[in-house]
Amino acid sequence: MMESFYDITLNVHRYDPDTDKRWIDTYQVKAGRIMRFVDVLRKVNDEQDATLAWGSSCEHGQCGSCSMKINGKPLLSCELLVENAVHYFDTTTFTIEPLDVAPVIRDLVIDTDKAYGRVDKVKPYIIKPKPLGEKGEEHQISPEELERYVDATRCINCFCCASACISSHHNFLGPNAMLAAIVRVMDPREQEKQSRFDTLYSENGIYRCHSSQACSFVCPKEIDVAHFIALAKNGEIKPA
């Protein structure tokens, strides 16, 4: 039965860097059914606890800055409606934790510089572009070439996949970092492939992937991350 409001309970993991203390705070919130979790957290800030820290930017599922774990599932809190959450998890009690891919700065905010450090290692940009044509025209990617990897370019680096990965976060650069490297290997405009192969096939690269496919399951952009990593394992990521 569709409700107009839900009385939900939030168990939020808190962290105070000044005292290095961790604890869980519980908030009771009357939430509208189409409120998103970012709205719910804002309501907590407005009405109950202004000190609760969390991060967001675009709040339209494009920047990946509001990712967190809700009842254990890494997701974008701007995309999860209260009603969908109640039905999906079959409860009105939600445990909210920060992602575990980088140190926590405060409450639900993680050190994104540290998290992005892993993506930076694969150099997610064109290092050595293909030279311009004889008349100076830019290289064009054919639709057939683009079709092979266009899905992978939709990654927003929200780190949900990295958080869900079975491989822990000690040594693996992460599924999203692998995806960034794979995109550049498959990109026909990029000439520098070897250094990317070196990173992909390093001890922190695809050897740490065990095809648990949790990355594909949690990806808010519905990218089949495991598919692309499997292509890399099988050597099928060369440009067409």
Least distance (Å) between residue 74 CB and other proteins = 8
Nearer to other proteins, 59 or 224 (CB): 224
What b/e string do you get for 22-37 counting C-beta neighbours within 10 Å, with b at 16 or more?
eeebebebebbeebbb
Nearer Cβ to other proteins (5/201): 201
Of 6 and 88, nearer to other proteins (C-beta) is 88
Q: Provide DSSP, 201-231.
A: TSTTTGGG-----HHHHH-TT---HHHHHHH
Beta strands in the chain (DSSP E): 5-16, 21-32, 67-70, 73-76, 93-97, 104-106, 109-110
Question: Residue 134: CB partners within 8 Å, gap ≥ 6?
Answer: none
Residues 194, 130: contact at Cβ < 8 Å?
A: no
Indicate the residue among 116 and 197 with the shorter CB distance to other proteins.
Answer: 197
Q: How far is the CB of 120 from other proteins (least distance, A)?
A: 19
| Interacting residue ranges for other proteins, rule: CB under 8 A | 71-73, 88-89, 164, 166-168, 170-172, 197, 200-201, 203, 206-208, 210-214, 216-218, 224, 226-227, 230-231, 233-236
Q: What share of the chain is helix, strand, coil (3-state, %, to 5)?
A: 35, 20, 45
Burial class (CB within 10 angstroms; exposed 0-12, middle 13-18, buried 19+) of 47: exposed
Q: Least Å distance between CB 209 and other proteins?
A: 9
Closer CB to other proteins, residue 19 or residue 234? 234
Residue 217 beta carbon to other proteins: minimum distance, rounded to whole angstroms: 3
Q: Which is nearer to other proteins, 57 or 212 (CB)?
A: 212
Q: How far is the CB of 208 from other proteins (least distance, A)?
A: 6
Give φ, ψ of 25 to 5 degrees: -105, 140
Please name the amino acid found at residue 77.
S
Q: Which is nearer to other proteins, 46 or 90 (CB)?
A: 90
The least CB distance from residue 200 to other proteins, in Å, is 8
**Regarding beta strands 104-106 and 109-110, do their DSSP bridges make them parallel or antiparallel, or are they unpaired?**
antiparallel
Question: In angstroms, what is the minimal distance from the CB of 121 to other proteins?
Answer: 16
